[in-house]
Amino acid sequence: MSCPFLKRATLAQLKNSNNQVLAGIAKKCPVASTIPVQKYNIPQVDASNCPYSSKDRRNDRELKHLASKCCPFQNAELMQQKRLDEPVSKVTSCPKISFMGEVAGEALRKKEKDNTYRIFKEISRSAQIPGKCSIDNHLAMKVNWSSNDYLGLSQHPRVINSTIEVISETGVGAGGTRNISGTSPYHHRLETALADWHYHQHGLVFSSCYVANENVIAQIAELAVKNGKKLHIISDEKNHASMIQGVLKACRTFPGYVEKSVFKHNDMDDLEAVLQSSYSDEIVPLILFESVYSMEGDFGLVDEISVLSKKYDALTFCDEVHAVGLYGENGHGLCNPEHEIDFITGTLGKALGSLGGYVTSNNADFIEYFRLHCPGLIFTTSLPPAICNAAWESLQISCSVEGENLRNLHQKNVAYMKTLLLDYFPDHEEIFEKSNHIIPVFINDAKKVDLVQRKMLRHDHYCQAINSPTVPKGSERLRIVVTPQHDQGQIQRFVRDLVDSIEEVNAVEGSMKFLDGRR
């Protein structure tokens, strides 16, 4: 049968709707709930019978939410019978394919059961109304508390207009890889500006910082091994997945020559103990860390790591993804020249509001080696010139008086949000004291954090729940991001609605315990 809500659903929503979700929708639908679903030949139903299909009717909020995900209703029994009745195709008859399909299906069912099944919401941001968005094609605008566009520069008129100009000049795409017609004057100008921004001599732009981190770490390992050295990679336990993948790739490629150690998050005694154990003329230590940790909401210890690296003659690699644009002189981040960090990576896609990643260094040979050896740079299409220009324009704003004013307002709003939250969550004081502009509110339960997120949506707030595998199970949280585009009235309403939402979940699910950040 055709559901009257089908026209509202997108292809992505249909794919992400599982049988359990559909069954719940059907129970609330005045049409589907009356149909004998046990019968396989379901008669056509007149869609006009559904009172929620009228545009003029004021819908219940929950039903409107369900409507956005509704699709032709079939319960699990019907789906199973349909599969049994259909002839088996030649492709699915292959035992290996059938086996792998069953394995994938079982893995998905497991994720549904433990509340880690993710649905990618369709977010439509508005350049005309900064700080707000619509979700899953709903017209109602929500206040966005989950954007990594920290300063709103992706929607800045200067950035938008300059991007349009370059698109009109060069076209939309880059036309090739960096090696084959994909390098433009805009790429070189951006790389020079990024290097200057970080007080380095040289820079190299990648398609993303994930690609930059993974490739650069692996190539440092290859460079060491090719020259008769062993590489000991020493990584903070809270480092981003992109660095972890780079470490794993290096270890797999050079077993016996690349060793990894993980030190406790921001624990300098543990880091020094690892450095002492590997101190040798034949071993090159490489310390990996971040200046701002995106899920913990705290700062890396750049000063202390710099001192230890010099003491033990170790290379340093700092990911400044969540710091650039927000901290330091002109927003260059938390790594200063006196730190003498060997490799700094960053993104163009967060505070700079564009797309892509990069690495900078004072050593020209390192950057040139990466340019000639990183497969993630060599074998992928280059960033479009207009995107490089957008990042460059944002960088100019960051280095201006306007950029400084945006950073000051950003920090003011962050401090105000934390102050209000502490009135209701005094046990979060230690978390907020050490947190940066990313404010975590720990829920510590996958089901509960999802319920809180849903209730906040009904209050017109979009605040993304974070669960496994992004964070360990049992440390689920809301990740709150405040920007200069938010005002104090919106912040006050957010805190009030958050408290109400948590209390509602507590009433249904029982008492909710908040961690103090230690796990």
The Cα–Cα gap between 247 and 200 comes to: 24
**DSSP assignment of 53-113:** G-TTS---HHHHHHHTT--S---HHHHHHHHHHSPPPTTTTSHHHHHHHHHHHHHHHHHHH
Torsion from C-alpha of 368, 372, 373, 378, nearest 10 degrees: 130
193 or 93: which leads in pLDDT: 193
Q: Give the relative orientation of helices 446-458 and 488-509 as an angle to the nearest 10 degrees.
A: 130
Report whether CATH 2.60.120.260 matches the domain 130-154+401-509: no
Residue 445: the pLDDT is: 86
Query: Residue 152 contacts by C-beta under 8 Å, 6 or more apart in sequence?
Result: 130, 131, 353, 406, 483, 484, 485
- What confidence category does residue 3 fall into, taking pLDDT thresholds of 50, 70 and 90? low
Q: Give the relative orientation of helices 364-373 and 209-226 as an angle to the nearest 10 degrees.
A: 100
Q: Is a pLDDT exceeding 90 seen at residue 490?
A: yes
Other CB atoms within 10 Å distance of the CB of residue 368: 12
| Residue position matching structure tokens 């005002």 | 487
The Cα–Cα gap between 214 and 207 comes to: 12
The Cα–Cα gap between 137 and 143 comes to: 15
DSSP code of 34?
Answer: G
For residue 84, count CB atoms less than 10 angstroms from its CB and return exposed for 0-12, middle for 13-18, buried for 19 or more: exposed
Whether 130-154+401-509 shares its CATH topology with 171-398 is answered no
- 206-210, 268-272, 462-466: least confident range: 462-466
Q: Nearest 5°: phi and psi at 215?
A: -70, -45
Q: Residues 65, 67, 72, 74: is their CA dihedral positive or negative?
A: positive
pTM of structure: 0.77
The Cα–Cα gap between 285 and 260 comes to: 10
Q: Strand, helix or coil at 231?
A: strand
Per-residue tokens: 212: 């930059």
- Chain Cα centroid distance, residue 308: 31
Q: Which of 320, 327, 488 is CA-nearest to residue 407?
A: 327
The Cα–Cα gap between 216 and 246 comes to: 8
Report the percent of the chain where pLDDT is more than 90: 60
Q: Nearest 5°: phi and psi at 71?
A: -145, 175
> What's the one-letter identity of residue 40?
Y
The residues annotated as belonging to the active site are: 350
Query: Residue 393 contacts by C-beta under 8 Å, 6 or more apart in sequence?
Result: 158, 159, 162, 163
Other CB atoms within 10 Å distance of the CB of residue 229: 16
Per-residue tokens: 478: 């809301």
Query: Residue 355 contacts by C-beta under 8 Å, 6 or more apart in sequence?
Result: 208, 348, 349, 383, 387, 390, 391
CATH of domain 171-398: 3.40.640.10
Extents of the domains making up the chain? 6-96, 130-154+401-509, 171-398
pLDDT digits (tens, 9 = 90+) for 229-260: 999 999 999 999 999 999 999 999 999 999 99
pLDDT digits (tens, 9 = 90+) for 403-457: 999 999 999 999 999 999 999 888 888 888 888 898 989 888 888 998 999 999 9
Q: How many residues does the chain have?
A: 519
Residue 284: the pLDDT is: 95
